Structure 1
């Protein structure tokens, strides 16, 4: 009895010592496997199960469609129709659940990501193997004259890339969590080099599988390409397709919440956003305020329009900022030569990506102007106004609003400013 009591006391003392050695900061709990799961799991969402229709509608032929999917990979290195309000409420509930999971625990968010990545890879493999079997049986008629009828324009190419790159988005997400990645100088580029070619190969093979059972016209008429594929190939087990599409979508949302929340956290820490967004949970060591803020913005995004509007919103804004960021890399290569660069790339790569970003931003607007682009610009400008009022100039009346709000949020969420990690 006494030995048991002494053993328990020693274990408690070790636990207390372990807690004392942890600073109130984000912890390095992610390895290479988790890094690859974030890359693959965040990229493969609902896009590959829906986007083939949009890509094909712009390219108008099978051959150019497959080329766009391959090019997007290089550049990136539910069958029923419920009411829209139900879909959006379900999406909001999913965002709230994912936000809660990632605010509670880094490790739990990582485990959820690994499980959903494994689940989505199951359906990806099933679709690819089914397509290979069908091709071996001689179902190649849809690939005959695959470049016939192609009518290309700069705007159509840009919109096709918008939809394709939306399915590839996530290629940059691991950059946001380098503070929590073990050996980031090795694992960051390695995870990207392994993850993106893996996704590219899967996407091309999945598109090939789709075209083995659907003509271009049938694919364009499908509301959800993967579900139609499942109905034709996997019957009577076709019900698994929408289930795994849901898993895939949740996995991508979880990965994005996990990583983009860190971007908000660093922005707050560097003084680009409110300081409260850089605070860390005392008990759970997660950037809870930043994750919750990201979840709120995500819910706002699902309110307007349909999936195509969201793709246009996202792609326009994303590639505008991707281009500006990468152009900044080019400028700093010449103006800040003294900076240490643990990860280096040849200068022609950022120059090429900058030029491609300019094309992706301007070509669709010039060829097919739409209100989505104006809404997106206004949304970004509203953020700029908020930044100057509450962050940059710090007007007295703005401080009277932000300081009490920060104090109450800090007490409510039990968060504090992050401590400097020991050397």
Structure 2
């Protein structure tokens, strides 16, 4: 595999083996799935098409890829074996981008794409960064006899020709326009679309993006959108949501539908949601997330800060770390205390968190009512609070944003405060929304 560290030429990935963390082969890579973007921005890599041993081709999100190295790809081990189905807004690199004729922006020359490179960005994000192209050497004769010209590597923005037709007014164009919106703002736009166009856009969003948007929508919109997805995909989207938000949404579904979706989810993800469904939604147990940052007391501050840097964590969850005996998956071993983010910044990186843990803050019980949870956060100026059972096992954490969701009126997402979010959207977005 060629390229500088963090950059991979995709043709070199064709047919490489894909392994789980234990070294067992999952399958072989057959293609890379990307999403085109507007304004010359490089396409984002969504995931990989992997052919498993049954010759079925499945989709492996980049969020479940831990390493891309010479001759192999390593995954987290969580692989969904449902058959891959390409969506209208997705492009396959090997199948659709290689051998494509594009134009060099600077000179206007036509070139042929021989290879495409993807580069690692922040977190686990990857983007298309470079194109390896070949010029057509001038001269007569048939195409078969015509000599090839020079090859060169150029940046993505140095060529044109991959764009979709400008007159295409489908969900793909809307998605490209909406890409820079925050989930809350995109949720507001979706809410104001016609039901048909809302379904088109929701269907074209990738699972993680749709999950983020669903968490910001009113419950009736959530139920409507989820009900229009294939059940297999609906289960994938629920897995991508925060467990507490997924539980809230599932609780609004008919019992038979909810049970089918839970059965289709990964067992570990479904177990967290089922546990949350046992609590009333206006209690600490019903509002908590089951995925806070949890470490053992012998972890170093340097190790914990690396976990806090995870860009997928909300600011509230990244604000403090919970220290327990093993296991650290909820429900954990005995809860020992909490370490606040500011304390992590004040002490040397080699310090063990067990030496700086705050044991004075009393945790909440899962049956603590909403009013008491809100008062607890306000009294101690907290953005999150631990929730433990009667045996002092950490069950999860309640964050201030979830408390606010329950304290505000049910229709607050449709009120003037949230509605003003569309002012921040580009003019093109507003005109297209009102035109649908």
Pairwise same-fold verdict (TM > 0.5): no
Give the TM-score range, shorter chain.
under 0.3
Q: Where is the strand percentage greater, Structure 1 or Structure 2?
A: 2
| Larger relative contact order (CA 8 Å, sep ≥ 6) | 1
Tell me the TM-score normalized by structure 1.
0.24
